[in-house]
Amino acid sequence: MAAAAPILPVEEAVVKYFFFLCLDEQVSFSASLKVLGDLKAANRIDEGHRSHWVQALHRWKTKIKKIRGRSWSENAAAPGFEFHSEMEIANWVSFISAADPDEVEAVLLSRVLGFTDDDIARGLEVTEGTVRYRVGRGLRHLGGYIYA
């Protein structure tokens, strides 16, 4: 089993979730502000509420197409996300375009953002077995692009 990703602060986890889901910095920034506002209003920002983070992210996932992009800087050339020079995003783009959305979300939450199976299961209101199944199928699908 792959090593879990390190636990991210809520702000970083939320922004990365939306970026890897829609691959648009401005939309991910706008969506992140909305989710973080909801979590703050509900007093669920601390790490003890990680399953609530998953629940909020999942709830906003369906609304992402309606969100208008918003820049985080007046300077259009300001740096946004910076990828490691060896990161190949094309495989991820192929994966999110073709895979089952539930599997994409499971891989993103588990392997990219480091949420535990328990946090994901409670947040999505499914069993841990369902989470592991989705992650496994998603990783096999993603692996097909990486090793093709």
Distance, CA of 36 to CA of 11 (rounded, Å):
7
pTM: 0.81
Q: Which residue has the tokens 């969100």?
A: 67
What pLDDT, in 10s, does the model give residues 97-124?
999 999 999 999 999 899 999 999 999 9
What is the average pLDDT score of the chain? 83
Residue 28 CA to residue 73 CA, distance in Å, equals 14
Matching residue, tokens 């922004």: 15
Name the nearest CA neighbour of 113 among 9, 1, 2: 9
pLDDT (tens digit, 9 = 90+) per residue, 11-56? 888 988 988 888 888 888 888 888 999 899 999 888 888 899 999 9
Angle of helix 117-124 versus helix 50-61 axis, rounded to 10? 50
